[in-house]
Amino acid sequence: MKFCPHCGGDLAAFLSATSANTAKVNPAMLAKYDQIKVWRTLIEKAEATRAQPPEIAALAFDVSKQIESLSDFTKPDGTLSVIVHLVFDQKIVPDGGALYMAAMSNGQAGPQDPSYFEARGYLVEEGRVRVSNDVPVGAAFGALEYWGGDKQHRRWHMAKPISLNASRIGDPYFMDDNMVAFGATWKDLTKTDEAFIQLFEFMTAGIRGGGKIARPVMVEVCPVR
């Protein structure tokens, strides 16, 4: 794939850079999964790149190559399941406190205009705060669900919708502050480049150009054994 399937931009530079430095999964990610250890390492790496974060296309190709490097973990049915860890440049979960309680009471924006909740990070649909398993969610949750849920997961050759958990205390899947971990299972890897370019475009420009949600700055994957 030489040109971005969405914006038409020339991706040759990113492809050559990725080929020259074949992306491999951090060896620590291949050990027995330890959520705290994984995230401690990942946050340190994200902080080190804060001043000069990678280009979105480069990041997409990097995570795609990481997934390809895990081919030894392909299951007998031909699928490969991974945990995708993403760090963003800003918070991706809604504010808590009183707003959380208001959203949980009946999901209704009530006396406040829906934009009041949207401005504080909540995902509002048809005048109601969106809730997943009793947890109010933000625009990042909506973008991830749209990208890898029932609507589009087959487009990326995933075997099933992504595993997404809005809880701050989930393990291994969770969302908190500027971090998210979700599960993805691929039938084949022919669409991973395109899939992550699209996901990162959703996050940086919004679905249908709805505006920036957050910019991804670091991504790492590990296999689901």
User: Does residue 118 lie within any of the structural domains?
Assistant: no
Q: What is the pLDDT along the chain (225 residues), one digit of tens a residue?
A: 544 544 555 444 444 444 434 466 666 566 689 999 999 999 999 999 888 889 999 999 999 999 999 999 999 999 999 999 999 999 999 876 566 666 566 555 454 667 777 877 888 888 888 888 888 899 999 999 999 999 899 999 999 999 999 999 999 999 999 999 999 999 999 999 999 999 999 999 988 877 899 999 999 999 998
Query: Which stretch of DSSP H or E encloses residue 216?
Result: strand 216-223
What confidence score (pLDDT) does residue 21 get? 44
What confidence score (pLDDT) does residue 102 get? 65
What confidence score (pLDDT) does residue 49 get? 87
The angle subtended at Cα 145 by Cα 187 and Cα 35, nearest 5°, is: 75
User: Does residue 179 lie within any of the structural domains?
Assistant: yes
Owning domain of residue 157: 12-93+138-223
User: Does residue 101 lie within any of the structural domains?
Assistant: no
Burial of 149 (0-12, 13-18, 19+ CB in 10 A): middle
Amino acid at 57: A
The angle subtended at Cα 164 by Cα 76 and Cα 141, nearest 5°, is: 145
Rg of the chain taking only CA atoms, in angstroms:
18
What confidence score (pLDDT) does residue 209 get? 78
pTM of the model: 0.83
Report the candidate in 220, 166, 208 with the shortest Cα–Cα distance to residue 33: 220
User: Does residue 216 lie within any of the structural domains?
Assistant: yes
What confidence score (pLDDT) does residue 145 get? 96
Task: Specify the number of domains making up the chain.
Answer: 1
d(CA 20, CA 13): 11
What confidence score (pLDDT) does residue 210 get? 79
What confidence score (pLDDT) does residue 97 get? 55
What confidence score (pLDDT) does residue 96 get? 63
d(CA 165, CA 10): 35
What confidence score (pLDDT) does residue 30 get? 67
- Asked whether 133 and 166 are in contact (CB, 8 A), the reply is yes
User: Does residue 154 lie within any of the structural domains?
Assistant: yes
User: Does residue 211 lie within any of the structural domains?
Assistant: yes
User: Does residue 104 lie within any of the structural domains?
Assistant: no
Amino acid at 45: K
User: Does residue 107 lie within any of the structural domains?
Assistant: no
